[in-house]
Amino acid sequence: MNYKLINIKVHGDERGKLAVLESLKDIPFEIKRVYWIFDTLPEQERGFHSHKDMEQIVVAMDGACDFVLDDGERTETVTLNRPDKGLYIGKNMWRVMKNFSYGCKLMVLASDYYNEKEYIRNYGEFKKSLK
């Protein structure tokens, strides 16, 4: 399975906490794009795609959601519910995001610019691409 959970370095004191991720040091790629997902609803699912050529780190900045990750052979579910945990998702992983808590905010760090051509949005095509 081409994913892993990363413990994000946290600096804390009486004023609060500060978490940090540095390109090519704490995460295995250079960050070219940051986007975030918010105003989600518990009954709405997202994702349903894989990336041919993109790596990502997802952090639940607030709230929680489940990531169902599928490498074509196995499926595993990871719950993201802490701002000090990053979910690294490598290439060729089908992902579905579900069970969003109200007010969940997901920040995504991506290894490349947005390019719809490198998405696979059809599950059959995803399976075929792995052969």
- Just list the catalytic residues: 49
Q: Which region, judged by CB under 6 A, interacts with ligand TYD, from 14-22, 30-38, 58-66, 81-89?
A: 30-38
Dist CA 80 CA 106 (whole Å):
9
- 36 near ligand TYD, judged by CB under 6 A: no
Q: Which region, judged by CB under 6 A, interacts with ligand TYD, from 2-10, 14-22, 31-39, 70-78?
A: 31-39
Distances (CA, A) of 59 to 32, 65, 70, 129: 16, 10, 19, 28
What are the residues facing 89 on neighbouring strands? 3, 56
- 21 near ligand TYD, judged by CB under 6 A: no
C-beta atoms surrounding 40 within 10 Å = 21
Closer residue to ligand TYD (CB): 35 or 75: 35
- 35 near ligand TYD, judged by CB under 6 A: yes
| Phi and psi torsions of 123, nearest 5° | -65, -40
Name the H helices within 1-131: 123-129
Q: Which of residues 45-84 bind ligand TYD (CB under 6 A)?
A: 46-47
- Output the smallest distance, CB 25 to ligand TYD, in A: 24
Dist CA 56 CA 54 (whole Å):
7
Is 21:8 a contact under the CB 8 Å cutoff? Answer: yes
> Among 114, 125, 128, 129, which residue interacts with ligand TYD (rule: CB under 6 A)?
114
- Output the smallest distance, CB 21 to ligand TYD, in A: 18
Site residues for ligand TYD per CB under 6 A: 33, 35, 37, 46-47, 114
